[in-house]
Amino acid sequence: MGASLLEGEDGPAVLMNGAGRSPYVIVCEHAGNRLPKRLGTLGLAAADLERHIAWDIGAEKVSRLLARLIDAPLVLQRYSRLVYDCNRPPESPDAMPMVSEVTAIPGNRDLTPAEKLARTREIYRPFHAAIADLLDARACDGIATSLVSIHSFTPVYKGKPRSVELGILHDRDTRLSARLIKSFPNIDARFNEPYGPKDGVLHLLNLHAAPRGLQHAMIEIRNDLIAQERGQDEWAQRLSVPLSQAQTN
Amino acid sequence: MGASLLEGEDGPAVLMNGAGRSPYVIVCEHAGNRLPKRLGTLGLAAADLERHIAWDIGAEKVSRLLARLIDAPLVLQRYSRLVYDCNRPPESPDAMPMVSEVTAIPGNRDLTPAEKLARTREIYRPFHAAIADLLDARACDGIATSLVSIHSFTPVYKGKPRSVELGILHDRDTRLSARLIKSFPNIDARFNEPYGPKDGVLHLLNLHAAPRGLQHAMIEIRNDLIAQERGQDEWAQRLSVPLSQAQTN
């Protein structure tokens, strides 16, 4: 295989507050926009690496604040989704996209199987192993868990503005999402917008929550609302209300 | 944690024919009835460890013969499902059952969280990691995969005889199972019998196939039909027919 992709660098997963006593475990797979040193800038300008295509703007901060407010464990992912989108399996062309929204990603062109496998083994798998480690330990301790992933979406996608403010995404199991949507009366909150299960965005929940029978939901916040500290505080506070209430199974 | 459960012993996963060129990957999570030395006999008589409660009688042989016939990779699991049932998440009471069918398992009574976690970390997780490693490598090589798990069931369960010979189990994605069921005209073959998704038996497929979008099916053969070599040969041959045909997605 030769040198590893991340040799001498941090692994992808950051576990915070692992012993947190909330029934909720928070994950944020698009928290970071870091690139492995060996991949340079993927041929992109510095400004592109600050855009939504690289990460979920504001999501890490909201996740950290929320986890603190409700005393929940949190698993963050450090690397840009342009290197490996941890909410996609390696079977998906979106896992290592050649084009994101309308921007070509030169460093993802003509990847060899070995290059794809290195990203899969060193970013995708260890991040998901960190989540599984946490869920395994809680299960063996007899702690009931619900899994919530925190994301943000761009207010304008391919030139089209989006008015939805909060998306609550679910597939078959609607236990948690049905409860959550009632908690935001003054927000434009919608089920499965701006994406839904057909877009392949429920991979993380399909991988960890459904096979374990855990309640789960994916939260999508429009990123103009959480780009700054004030909005991050407001939204963490807002999300903490339903997630602080006793869990009903 | 102290000494590991399997220290000095084989790991749970056996990969055979990893470079096999079939579009099918075969898994057999209840292939073996081995117990880790540190767990003694779990308080059971030797005869109990040969029964269906301990493993899927005949399934390993059918899996090996089938994998050879169709040139498929095969992942077997060596340890008894009484230690850890690799077709269950650690959240399930059936993962380390205190009672199996009508037999009490003394060695599974009053397990501590640390004991449960050791079994989860040393049997469940490495077995599933071996499957994921194989699927990741195939995905990065651009090889389309369908996942088939091979099981056997007892002809008499809790005193009740079963006449079904072949179960083809599926949940939402019926692409492969719908094709398979047509291939056994002279067999009593049924969908989701003697178990189905509601019994939690689709865990392995829910964990590996559904999140990756892979076609999949779980095969259950009545074990009196494959307890001996002749039946094992017959059934491997019979299953190889539809699994040798070109895959249609």
Q: In the structure encoding, which two tokens stand for residue A205, read together?
A: 């929940």
Is the pLDDT assigned to residue B98 strictly greater than 70? Answer: yes
Q: Is B142 within a domain? A: yes
Q: What percent of chain A has pLDDT above 90?
A: 94
Q: Is B176 within a domain? A: yes
Q: Is B8 within a domain? A: no
Q: Do A213 and B91 touch (CB under 8 A)?
A: yes
Q: Where are the alpha helices (DSSP H) in chain A?
A: 59-70, 113-119, 125-140, 175-181, 203-208, 229-244
> For the segment A72-106, what is each residue's pLDDT rounded down to a tens digit?
999 999 999 999 999 999 999 999 999 998 999 99
- What pLDDT does A158 receive? 86
Question: Could you count the other beta carbons within 10 Å of the beta carbon of residue B188?
Answer: 13
Preferred mutation among B111, B117, B136 to probe A, highest tally of A CBs within 10 A? B136
Burial of A2 (0-12, 13-18, 19+ CB in 10 A): exposed
Is the pLDDT assigned to residue B2 strictly greater than 70? Answer: no
Q: How far is CA B142 from the centre of its chain?
A: 26
Q: In angstroms, how far apart are the furthest CA atoms of chain A?
A: 55
Q: Any CB–CB contact under 8 A between A143 and chain B? A: no
Is the pLDDT assigned to residue A223 strictly greater than 90? Answer: yes
Question: Minimal Cα distance from B212: which residue of A?
Answer: A89
Question: Could you count the other beta carbons within 10 Å of the beta carbon of residue A40?
Answer: 11
Q: Is A4 within a domain? A: no
> For the segment B62-88, what is each residue's pLDDT rounded down to a tens digit?
999 999 999 999 999 999 999 999 999
> For the segment B119-130, what is each residue's pLDDT rounded down to a tens digit?
999 999 999 999
| Domain with A49 in it | 13-244
CA–CA gap between residue A138 and residue B151 (Å, rounded): 29
- What pLDDT does A2 receive? 53
Distances (CA, A) of B19 to B50, B67, B168, B181: 32, 12, 26, 28
Q: Do A136 and B120 touch (CB under 8 A)?
A: yes
Closest by CA to A201, choosing from A56, A18, A40, is: A56
Q: Is B1 within a domain? A: no
Shortest distance between the Cα of A203 and any Cα of chain B, in A, equals 6
Q: Do A116 and B140 touch (CB under 8 A)?
A: yes
Q: How many domains does chain A have?
A: 1
Q: In the structure encoding, which two tokens stand for residue A168, read together?
A: 């609550």
ipTM of the complex model: 0.96
CA–CA gap between residue A170 and residue A147 (Å, rounded): 12
Q: Do B139 and A91 touch (CB under 8 A)?
A: yes
Q: Is A21 within a domain? A: yes
Q: Any CB–CB contact under 8 A between B113 and chain A? A: yes
Q: Do A117 and B132 touch (CB under 8 A)?
A: no
Does residue B49 contact residue B103 with C-beta atoms inside 8 Å?
A: no
Distances (CA, A) of A4 to A39, A85, A117, A182, A218: 12, 19, 11, 47, 32
> For the segment B13-51, what is each residue's pLDDT rounded down to a tens digit?
999 999 999 999 999 999 999 999 999 999 999 999 999
Tell the residue number behind the tokens 């590893």, with chain if given. Answer: A4
Q: What's the whole-number average pLDDT of chain A?
A: 96
Residues 158-187 (A) with a CB less than 8 A from some CB of B: 172
Query: How large is the average pLDDT for residues A58-77?
Result: 98
Is the pLDDT assigned to residue A1 strictly greater than 70? Answer: no
- What pLDDT does A248 receive? 53
Is the pLDDT assigned to residue A249 strictly greater than 80? Answer: no
> For the segment B187-226, what is each residue's pLDDT rounded down to a tens digit?
999 999 999 999 999 999 999 999 999 999 999 999 999 9
Shortest distance between the Cα of B118 and any Cα of chain A, in A, equals 9
Q: Is B41 within a domain? A: yes
Shortest distance between the Cα of A170 and any Cα of chain B, in A, equals 14
> For the segment B139-157, what is each residue's pLDDT rounded down to a tens digit?
999 999 999 999 999 999 9
Preferred mutation among A140, A143, A149, A206 to probe B, highest tally of B CBs within 10 A? A140
Is the pLDDT assigned to residue A157 strictly greater than 70? Answer: yes
Question: Minimal Cα distance from B134: which residue of A?
Answer: A117
CA–CA gap between residue B156 and residue B224 (Å, rounded): 10
**CATH code, A234:** 3.40.630.40
CA atoms within 13 A on the CB side of A130: 24
Q: Is A7 within a domain? A: no
Closest by CA to A202, choosing from A184, A177, A181, A223, is: A177
- What pLDDT does B245 receive? 76
